[in-house]
Structure formats: structure tokens, C-alpha cells
Amino acid sequence: MNPVFFVSFIPIFVLLFVILPQHKKIKGKVATGKIIKKKRRVKMSYEALRKLIGKKCSINTLDQYVEGQVLTLDGNWLEIEVETRKGYKNKIEMVNVEFIEKISIED
């Protein structure tokens, strides 16, 4: 047989066995809501964070809540002095700036 005959069936083969099955998978995911849009994150300005040094703040991250006085900003880490109960030494916590969702200034 002529090789041109076989080459002419390649697009049909690709359509039937590659593209259509993938299209059905994607269509099913959209119908069930499994495709989730990626959130675009905006990096927090280091200049804005430097203004917080020395102030009492409440900081919400993805999985924790920290309340205390901001001591320093070192790279991606914010150092916070957290007050403990009377008679105990204050704790120092480090918070990764990339995971901060909300900051409330108390001063």
C-alpha cells in the first residue's frame, strides 16, 4: 500500500484516541467543579513591613494567629515578641512574610 494512505489517517487517529479522551476528562472535571483557579499572590511590600517595627500588631497567617510587638524584619522572616502570662518570660516568634494574610495594627 501507499505510505501516503497511512499518513492521511494519522490526524484521524490522533483526534479519536488522544484529543477526545482528554477533552472528556476535562469536561467532567469542570462539571464536578474539580478544576480550581489558581490564586495570584501579591508579595507584601518590605517597606510597609519595616514601618511596623516597634508597633504592636495582630498577624494572621495561613494556620496561626500571632499578637505582639514587631522587633525586626530579616529577609522573609518577621520577628515578633509575644507577651505571655505574668511571671513568665516573653516568647519570640518568627513568621514567614510569604504566608501573612492579614495584619492589624493595635497602636
Q: Where do the domains of the chain lie?
A: 3-32, 46-105
Q: Which amino acid, 3?
A: P
pLDDT digits (tens, 9 = 90+) for 42-93: 566 788 888 899 999 999 988 889 999 999 999 889 999 998 888 788 999 9
Instruction: Give the pLDDT of residue 43.
Output: 64
22 versus 69: which is more confidently predicted? 69
Is the pLDDT at 32 greater than 60? The verdict is: no
d(Cα 104, Cα 90) in Å, to the nearest integer? 20
Q: Where are the alpha helices (DSSP H) in 33-106?
A: 46-50
Strand pairing category for 77-82 and 91-96:
antiparallel
Q: Share the mean pLDDT of the chain.
A: 78
3-class SS of residue 74: strand
Contact 101, 60 (CB under 8 A): yes
* pTM more than 0.75: no
Burial class of residue 47, CB neighbours in 10 A (0-12, 13-18, 19+): exposed
Q: How confident is the model at residue 27 (pLDDT cuts 50, 70, 90)?
A: low
Q: Which fold has domain 46-105?
A: SH3 type barrels. (2.30.30)
